[in-house]
Amino acid sequence: DAKTTQPNSMESNEEEPVHLPCNHSTISGTDYIHWYRQLPSQGPEYVIHGLTSNVNNRMASLAIAEDRKSSTLILHRATLRDAAVYYCIPDMNSGGSNYKLTFGKGTLLTVNP
Amino acid sequence: GAGVSQSPSNKVTEKGKDVELRCDPISGHTALYWYRQSLGQGLEFLIYFQGNSAPDKSGLPSDRFSAERTGGSVSTLTIQRTQQEDSAVYLCASSPGYKQYFGPGTRLTVL
C-alpha cells in the first residue's frame, strides 16, 4: 500500500478556503487517490477521488500534482460543519472489486467562527 | 433513502463474554466491509464480503473474531471471549462499487 503523510491538524476560519495537503510519494500509476472525512461521533463519509486530472464536485475540489506524489483537497468556503478528520487514501483497489480502505491518522480540521 | 444502520449503538460487556454486532447495508449494495476504530486511532479493516464470493478475512485480528453475511444483505460480526483490547467503535460500510457508505458504528466497551 502507498504510504501517506498528512499534517496532524489544521485550522481555518469560517467562509475561507482550506487547502489540505497529502503526500503519497510511493503511489503506483494505477492507484486512485480518495478522500474521506469523519465528523465527530460519525462514520466516515466519501468526499472525492481522482487519478490524474483535477476533480470537482459539490463538496470539494481535488488537485493532483503532475507527478502524482502529492494531492490537495480544497474546501472553497469552510463552514463549521466541515470540522472533521480528513483522510487521504491512495491504493484502494486491492485487486478485483475489493476496495478495502487503509486509513492513516488523517488531518484534524478545526473551523473557527 | 435509508443509509447503513448498525445495532446496537452501544454495547457494554464483561470480559470473556461473546457479543454480536449487526449491520444492515443499503439495499442493492453488493459489497460490505467491517472496520474498527480504537480510541484516538484510525480505522482498521477487518473483513470484506462481495456477493457470493469467499470473504476477505485478512484483517481479522484473531480467531475470536468472525463474521457472516446472510442472503447477501445483513451481516453479523461476532467476537467470542471478549478482551479489554477489543473495546472500540466497530463500523460497517456497504458499497455498490468503490464508494463506501458507512454506518454510525457500534461502540463496544469491554469491562
Tens of pLDDT along B37-78?
A: 998 778 899 999 988 888 999 999 999 999 999 887 999 999
d(CA A21, CA B82): 39
Q: How far is A83 from chain B (nearest CA, A)?
A: 16
Q: How large a percentage of chain A has pLDDT more than 70?
A: 91
A36 contacts in chain B (CB < 8 Å): 100
d(CA B62, CA B66): 9
Contact B91/A87, CB-based, under 8 Å? no
- CB-based burial label for B97 (10 Å; 0-12, 13-18, 19+): exposed
Q: Identify which has the larger pLDDT, A97 or B40.
A: B40
Q: How large a percentage of chain B has pLDDT more than 90?
A: 80
Q: How many CB pairs lie under 8 A apart between chains A and B?
A: 61
d(CA A10, CA A94): 30
Residue B84, phi then psi, degrees to nearest 5? -65, -30
Q: Minimum mean pLDDT among B5-9, B45-49, B95-99: which range?
A: B95-99
Q: How far is B29 from chain A (nearest CA, A)?
A: 13
Q: For B42, which of A32, A43, A106 is closest by C-beta distance?
A: A106
